[in-house]
Structure 1
Amino acid sequence: MAEQLPTTEFDDIPDELLEELEALSHDRTEGHVNMVQLLDEEGQFHNGSHFSERARRLTSEELRGLYRDMALIRRFDAEATALQRQGQLALWVPVRGQEAAQIGSGRASQPQDYLFPTYREHGVALTRGVELGELLRQFRGVSNGGWDPRETNFHLYTLVLAAQVPHAVGYAMGIQRDAVRAAAAGRDPGEQTAPQAAVVAYFGDGASSEGDIHESMVFAASFKAPVVFFCQNNQWAISVPTQVQSRIPLHNRAKGYGFPGLRVDGNDVLAVRAVTEWALERARTGKGPVLIEAYTYRLGAHTTADDPTKYRLSEEEQDWVAKDPVTRFEKFLRAEGHADDAFFAEVAAQGDAFAAKSRRDVLAFEPPSLAEAMGHVYAERHPLVDEEIAWHLKYESGFADAEGSTTSEGGH
Structure 2
Amino acid sequence: MRKRKFWGWGYADELLSAEEEKNIDSRIAKTFQLDDIETLPIPKVEDIDLPKPRLGAPSALAKVISEDKEERLNHTYGKSFPDAARSLLKDFSSPPDLVAFPNTEDELINVMDWCDESNIAVIPYGGGSSVCGGVETKVGDSYSGVVSLDLRNLNKIIEIDRESRSARIQAGILGPDLESNLKKENLTMRHYPQSFEFSTLGGWIATRSGGHYATLYTHIDDFVESTRMVTPSGVLESRRLPGSGAGPSPDRLTIGSEGILGVITEASMRLQDRPTFRASTSVEFADYKDALNALRQISQSGLFPANCRLLDSSEAVMNGAGDGSKHILILAFESADHDKTAALKRALEICSDNNGLYEEPDSNKKDAHRTGSSGNWRSSFIKAPYFRESFTRRGIIQDTFETS
| TM-score, normalising length: structure 2 | 0.24
Q: Which has the higher contact order (CA 8 A, sep 6+)?
A: 1
